[in-house]
Structure 1
Amino acid sequence: MTTTREPQRADVRRWRRYLAEERAEAALYTQLAARRDGEEREILLDLANAEGRHAAHWVQLLGDQIGRERPPSMRSRLLIALARRFGSVFVLALAQRAEARSEYAGDSHATPAMAADERIHEEVIRSLAMRGRAKMSGTFRAAVFGMNDGLVSNLALVMGIGASGLGTSAVLLTGIAGLLAGALSMGAGEYVSVRSQRELLEASTPSPQAHAAVGDLDVNANELALVYRARGMSAEEAQEKAEQRLADYNPTVPPRRIAPHSLEEVGSAWQAAISSFAFFSSGAVIPVLPYALGLTGLTAVLLAAGLVGLALVATGAAVGVLSGAPPMRRALRQLLIGWGAAGVTYLLGLAFGTTVG
């Protein structure tokens, strides 16, 4: 709604900020659209147009007090830069969080339609991000869990052995052995898990042989209705579906597969296994580095814990961003869990070393 009184300085500052952010969001969605095609591109361009309408509202309110164009927030500028260079699902996840922070619902100078738009925009971006999350879920899961397991398990192993009083060479050898054993185990386990899941989904795909037999079915007996009843339809629905299927049957048209999207979401077993192996190794090598550099004692332990802590914060924040949750909360949780597990083994190593001594 427009105002008839002279706007206060605080109002003008706020409207200028809103204008800068709306223009930045329009630029963000335009940049994201440039890296996409088809329906996603159209959706993102429509979002950019909507943000342009919102910007026009603040331009009208500001009138001759619009002043020099104000730069958007650092967060918005970073998002635009990331969208221009990458255009990934992480950018969409960050944009989703930005839409959720809209202040329009509590601002009388923003129209109810604008506040509603921002809430709907959050859901649109959530849905677009969901597509990307689904495509990368298998590999990303293997990568994050692989690296996290490598970080925590090998840090716990190295700190426990180091606290027991063994020499640097023994700790280094133990860490390398833990890296190889864990990476091979993670890779093999991920391959078996994903491969088994794919086989279960493939087993749910209609048989081509069954499709070929449809043309020879007895219309009166109509065994095809049993198939649809087995899939959960009522007897009446199954009969109607079967009769329609028989009437429209064309032997030259292959059956429609029911599980291709699920298979895409599961991903490749080899890809998941290789990602798991690689990321476990990249995580597990970090706590070994201080000992590989010849450091010993408490210095090596503290440096290993510090390096692993930084990596845990990074992986936790990445998971938080992708899931649309507060990244620092996820990072802190990851850090506390990792350091907690390593701290327990370190104390056990100290106790074991004292007992042996």
Structure 2
Amino acid sequence: MADTVAEETRDRSGSVRRWQRRLADERQESQVYRDLAGRRSGTEREILLELAKAEERHAAHWEQLLGSDLGSPRRGNLRLRLLALLASRFGSVFVLALVQRAESRSSNFSDVDATAAMIADEHVHEEVVRGLAARGRARVSGTFRAAVFGANDGLLSNLSLVLGVSGGGASTATVLLTGLSGLLAGALSMGAGEFISVRSQRELLAASTPGTPAQQIVPDLDVDANELALVYRARGMSAEQAQRRAAEVLRNPAFAVSDAPGTAPDDHDVVGTGLSAALSSFCFFASGAAVPVLPFLFGLHPTVALVTASVLVGFALMLTGATVGVLSGGPPLRRALRQLAIGVVAAAVTYGLGLLFGAVTG
């Protein structure tokens, strides 16, 4: 009998410690959402505050289980504390992406004492945060894409160039001149290419946007016989949807023809501006391309400079890969290692070709 009581006491003690951890995590998650809400306004603020209230409901569940064993307040786990710190300081799309990943790994999913409603809530929270993060990603996608591609291209192309020339037996001065030339030529090419690409995309979007006259003449259309529904069908609606939308517009001309699919007014914002994308691409390519050149610029021994450049570029590639992983809601380490693997293969191939070329011409 005494053994049974002792075993039950141990079980209760283990459960209490686990419940206290869950309670601390729920409170910490609620604080993360409130900190994020404090840096936003409008609908996003309301959504985040509702998520905070939901986490507080979950906290109440653990408080009820603990009863008299509630104890003094504890801190959430290190990951959640870090998220709370970032949320209070930045509130950016990167923080939302981290919160999304945290929701997908919620401890409630595997806790036997979590209710089915709590587990369902956590799945919903993940989708809500995914939606909020998607809105943020859309706002930065144009410039961010140019920045990431620019940095990666600068790192890989100039490291490959430097390694290839070094493998061919060129002097340090030649390697340095080649690296600086590659930096300048590549940055200008990337900037110009990004500018043309974004401007062309914006021009294509503008060509697909309904014209102002088409929207202004809606009040003058014949209610019984008109082709307004054809506009919506041409934009991708079914015949039934097009007829319903046309009827709505005729009843209330405030509805615009641009309400149809494929004419979202913020498409231009998603693409970004040509100038910002070009500047971002130029600067990030130049910063990435400068990394493999720096060891030669400081006059290190050629072998030491090559090793140093390779290590620095490896770290930089892992950083950009992890950044993309965070923003996309994926595992940062896996993205970082994938980026590093690509860089290692490219560097090895170009260095090998340089050695081969040097042996042939030598």
What is aligned with 1:307? 312
Q: Mapping of 1:195-234 within 5 angstroms?
A: 195-214=199-218, 222-233=226-237
Q: 1:329 is aligned with what amino acid?
A: R
Q: List gaps (5 residues or longer) in structure 2.
A: 1-7
Deviation, 1:255, is: 6.2
Contact 2:29 2:52 in 1 (8 A): yes
Per-residue CA deviations over 1:279-328 (Å, capped at 9, x if unaligned) read: 00010000000000011322111000000011011100000011111100
Q: Take 1:120 and 1:42, find their aligned partners in 2: how far apart are those partners?
A: 16
Q: 1:322 to 1:352 in 2, by over 3 A?
A: same
1:110 and 2:88 correspond: no
2:177 to 173, 182, 185: 173
RMSD: 2.1
1:183 to 165, 177, 187: 187
Q: 2:156 is aligned with what amino acid?
A: V
Q: 1:178 to 1:73 in 2, by over 3 A?
A: same
Q: 216-225 vs 113-122, which deviates more? A: 216-225
Q: 1:244 to 1:308 in 2, by over 3 A?
A: closer
What is aligned with 1:269? 274
Matched residues, percent identical? 62
Q: Take 1:232 and 1:105, find their aligned partners in 2: how far apart are those partners?
A: 40
Deviation, 1:213, is: 4.3
What is aligned with 2:18? 14
Q: List gaps (5 residues or longer) in structure 1.
A: none
Contact 1:105 1:112 in 2 (8 A): no
Q: Take 1:80 and 1:29, find their aligned partners in 2: how far apart are those partners?
A: 8
Per-residue CA deviations over 1:215-272 (Å, capped at 9, x if unaligned) read: 555666524444344334566765665566456458xx98657331211111111111
What is aligned with 1:63? 67
Per-residue CA deviations over 1:152-171 (Å, capped at 9, x if unaligned) read: 00000001111211111110
1:294 and 2:277 correspond: no
Contact 2:154 2:287 in 1 (8 A): yes
Q: 1:46 to 1:202 in 2, by over 3 A?
A: same
Per-residue CA deviations over 1:39-93 (Å, capped at 9, x if unaligned) read: 1111111111111111121122122223333222211111111111101111111
Q: Mapping of 1:114-153 within 5 angstroms?
A: 114-153=118-157
Q: 1:35 to 1:245 in 2, by over 3 A?
A: closer
Contact 2:228 2:246 in 1 (8 A): yes
Q: 1:41 to 1:235 in 2, by over 3 A?
A: closer
Q: May I ask how many residue pairs the two structures share in their alignment?
A: 351
What is aligned with 1:322? 327
| TM-score, scaled to structure 1 | 0.92
What is aligned with 1:72? 76
Q: 2:305 is aligned with what amino acid?
A: A
Q: Take 1:121 and 1:244, find their aligned partners in 2: how far apart are those partners?
A: 34
Contact 1:208 1:254 in 2 (8 A): no
Deviation, 1:340, is: 1.1
Q: Take 1:238 and 1:117, find their aligned partners in 2: how far apart are those partners?
A: 36
1:351 to 352, 356, 360: 356
Deviation, 1:352, is: 1.6
Q: 1:157 is aligned with what amino acid?
A: L
The DSSP-based 3-state class of the residue aligned with 1:51 is helix
Q: Take 1:236 and 1:62, find their aligned partners in 2: how far apart are those partners?
A: 56
Q: Take 2:40 and 2:353, find their aligned partners in 1: how far apart are those partners?
A: 53
Contact 1:222 1:242 in 2 (8 A): no
1:85 to 64, 86, 89: 89
The DSSP-based 3-state class of the residue aligned with 1:260 is coil
Per-residue CA deviations over 1:179-200 (Å, capped at 9, x if unaligned) read: 1111111111111111111111
Q: Take 2:283 and 2:304, find their aligned partners in 1: how far apart are those partners?
A: 28
Contact 1:201 1:259 in 2 (8 A): no
The DSSP-based 3-state class of the residue aligned with 1:287 is coil
Contact 1:172 1:291 in 2 (8 A): yes
Q: 1:319 is aligned with what amino acid?
A: V
